[in-house]
């Protein structure tokens, strides 16, 4: 009887998957019946497979997922790191906050990685997010500033780095892991501008249980996951609100416009970023309308 082993999906295309186990990569197929029953197999999925003994195998079952993203299609993410630049392009904080909400909803650790800190004052962005529990790291790929800190943050995790085109994500990755030799934006931007932006996600094994999802051009919001959030739970997805909500006068405070709101008072004192609260109020209104009319 052929022994079943547990492995990690690195990538898949046309029913053929790269599965890693203990540093070895197997080329595996899976049954059509299993794919239809259990859904699409994603990079990051843990699976059981039969080892044929020749570097090939056959996937027999999924292991339970702890989370997944639809765009980019990847499962069991440990870290979602938003790469932003002080300028060229200027950060759109609302999108960053929206992504942190999706990550919080699905139990994914968040981090804010500020790139190109040599080109502009990154202190304002850093101050906003240092009032949250999220990790904030200022980096400069040229000088090496912050590079080791980001590598340490990613250690022993499946990480997704996302950011708008031009923020220097590929340059940052190459500074951390030069052996990957990623193209610095040109190919990624051409793909992102193309008519068909669907692309298979691939995990790069970086050693010691560390993996990086290759998601060029990923900056768009995962709309399906976002719309599934109930507006009444939104305040729980802004973790910096937690210690102040007991200061609210009303138990059913929405933290949007009530008087004697603990969150609003914390914003006024500077304990919570005003821009984060503005993002919260905008998201609350949008999600409330989705709930009402969907």
**CATH classification of the domain holding 265:** 1.10.40.50
- Residue 90, domain member (yes or no): yes
Predicted confidence (pLDDT) at residue 92 exceeds the cutoff of 70? yes
- Residue 223, domain member (yes or no): no
Asked if residue 210 and residue 95 are part of one domain, the reply reads yes
Asked if residue 29 and residue 11 are part of one domain, the reply reads yes
Maximum average pLDDT range among 111-120, 163-172, 188-197, 231-240: 231-240
- Residue 9, domain member (yes or no): yes
Note the pLDDT of residue 193: 39
- Residue 224, domain member (yes or no): no
Asked if residue 105 and residue 51 are part of one domain, the reply reads no
Asked if residue 145 and residue 101 are part of one domain, the reply reads yes
Asked if residue 126 and residue 189 are part of one domain, the reply reads yes
- The span from the CA of 171 to the CA of 173, in Å, is 5
Predicted confidence (pLDDT) at residue 274 exceeds the cutoff of 60? yes
DSSP label at residue 207: E
Looking at every residue in the chain, the average pLDDT score rounds to 85
Asked if residue 189 and residue 273 are part of one domain, the reply reads no
Asked if residue 98 and residue 150 are part of one domain, the reply reads yes
Helices 147-154 and 169-176 cross at an angle (nearest 10°) of: 80
Asked if residue 190 and residue 74 are part of one domain, the reply reads yes
**CATH classification of the domain holding 23:** 2.40.50.140
Predicted confidence (pLDDT) at residue 201 exceeds the cutoff of 90? no
At residue 47, the 3 state secondary structure works out as: strand
- Residue 136, domain member (yes or no): yes
φ, ψ at 231 (rounded to 5°)? -60, -25
Asked if residue 208 and residue 99 are part of one domain, the reply reads yes
Strand-strand pairing, 202-207 and 24-30:
unpaired
At residue 235, the 3 state secondary structure works out as: helix
- The span from the CA of 107 to the CA of 100, in Å, is 10
Asked if residue 139 and residue 83 are part of one domain, the reply reads yes
Domain boundary among 62, 85, 108: 62
- Residue 220, domain member (yes or no): no
Note the pLDDT of residue 214: 67
Domain boundary among 162, 181, 214: 214
Note the pLDDT of residue 94: 92
- Residue 39, domain member (yes or no): yes
The angle formed by the CA atoms of residues 108, 110 and 114, to the nearest 5 degrees, is 155
Show the tokens assigned to 19: 């599965």
**Residue 99 CB neighbour total at 10 angstroms:** 24
Asked if residue 164 and residue 75 are part of one domain, the reply reads yes
Domain span including residue 48: 4-62
**CATH classification of the domain holding 174:** 3.40.50.300
Task: Indicate the number of domains in the chain.
Answer: 3
- Residue 221, domain member (yes or no): no
By CB atoms closer than 10 A (0-12, 13-18, 19+), residue 71 is middle
Asked if residue 198 and residue 75 are part of one domain, the reply reads yes
Summarize pLDDT for 129-141 with one digit per residue, the tens.
999 999 999 999 8
Domain boundary among 15, 36, 62: 62
Predicted confidence (pLDDT) at residue 38 exceeds the cutoff of 90? no
- The span from the CA of 112 to the CA of 114, in Å, is 6
255 pLDDT tier (thresholds 50, 70, 90): very high
């Amino acid at each position: 009887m052929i022994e079943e082993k547990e492995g990690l999906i690195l990538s898949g295309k046309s029913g053929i998957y790269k599965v890693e186990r203990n540093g070895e990569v197997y080329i595996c197929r899976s049954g059509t019946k299993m794919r239809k029953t259990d859904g699409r197999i994603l990079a990051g999925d843990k699976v059981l497979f039969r080892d044929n003994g020749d570097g090939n195998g056959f996937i027999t079952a999924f292991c339970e997922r702890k989370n997944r993203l639809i765009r980019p299609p990847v499962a069991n993410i440990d870290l979602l790191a938003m790469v932003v630049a002080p300028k060229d392009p200027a950060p759109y904080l609302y999108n960053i906050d929206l992504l942190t909400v999706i990550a919080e909803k699905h139990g994914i650790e968040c981090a804010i990685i500020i790139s190109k800190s040599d080109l502009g004052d990154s202190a304002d962005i850093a101050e906003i997010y240092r009032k949250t529990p999220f990790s904030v790291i200022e980096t400069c790929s040229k000088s090496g500033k912050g590079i080791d800190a980001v590598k340490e943050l990613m250690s022993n995790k499946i990480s997704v780095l996302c950011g708008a085109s031009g923020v220097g994500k590929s340059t940052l990755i190459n500074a951390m892991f030069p052996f990957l030799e990623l193209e610095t934006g040109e190919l990624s931007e051409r793909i992102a501008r193309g008519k068909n932006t669907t692309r298979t996600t691939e995990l790069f094994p970086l050693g010691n249980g560390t993996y990086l999802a290759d998601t060029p051009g990923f900056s768009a919001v995962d709309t399906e996951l976002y719309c599934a959030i109930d507006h009444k739970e939104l305040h729980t997805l802004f973790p910096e609100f937690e210690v102040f909500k007991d200061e609210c006068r009303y138990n059913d405070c929405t933290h949007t416009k009530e008087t004697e709101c603990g969150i609003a008072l914390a914003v006024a004192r500077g304990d919570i970023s005003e821009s984060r609260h503005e993002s919260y109020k905008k998201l609350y209104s949008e999600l409330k309308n989705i709930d009402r009319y969907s």
